[in-house]
């Protein structure tokens, strides 16, 4: 007898697997009522999963760089100098482009936030 911390009984688990078989095999929703299905994204929806949405009329380069640094560094990396930030980025397997940007930072300065890092690179957020 298996004693685990399962939320559902074996019978309910089997029932749910049976209900999902059509969806898994077909690759598209199998409900008769269309209103149950989630609405697909529109062609002009912004890509928010890939980073911040830039303001209208701007390229959003500073926001995108800040997002990538924040995603890789986190809060625990600060305060740090250039070498400390490079060590964290390499330990967390950051992309080469991000490491190359960090190598351009001044070596004699201590950074307390990601915004300070982005500003030191000469990128300023759009207003």
Q: What is the distance between the alpha carbons of residues 118 and 54, in angstroms, rounded to a whole number?
A: 16
One-letter-per-residue 3-state SS of the chain: CCCCCCCCCHHHHHHHHHHHHHHHHHCCCCCCCHHHCCCCCCCCCCCCCCCCCCCCCCCCHHHHHHHHHHHHHCCCCCCECHHHHHHHHHHCCCCHHHHHHHHCCCCCCCECCHHHHHHHCCCCCCC
Which pTM was predicted?
A: 0.54
For the segment 61-86, what is each residue's pLDDT rounded down to a tens digit?
788 888 888 888 888 888 999 999 99
pLDDT over 70, % of the chain: 68
């Amino acid at each position: 007898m298996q004693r685990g911390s399962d939320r559902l009984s074996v019978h309910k688990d089997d029932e749910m697997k049976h209900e999902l078989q059509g969806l898994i095999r077909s690759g598209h929703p199998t409900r008769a009522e269309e209103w149950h299905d989630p609405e697909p994204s529109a062609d002009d929806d912004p890509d928010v999963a890939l980073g911040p949405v830039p303001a209208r009329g701007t390229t959003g380069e500073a926001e995108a760089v800040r997002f990538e640094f924040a995603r890789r560094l986190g809060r625990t990396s600060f305060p740090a100098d250039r070498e400390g930030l490079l060590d964290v980025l390499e330990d967390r397997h950051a992309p080469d482009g991000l490491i190359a940007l960090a190598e351009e930072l001044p070596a004699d300065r201590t950074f307390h936030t990601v915004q300070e890092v982005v500003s030191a690179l000469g990128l300023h957020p759009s207003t």
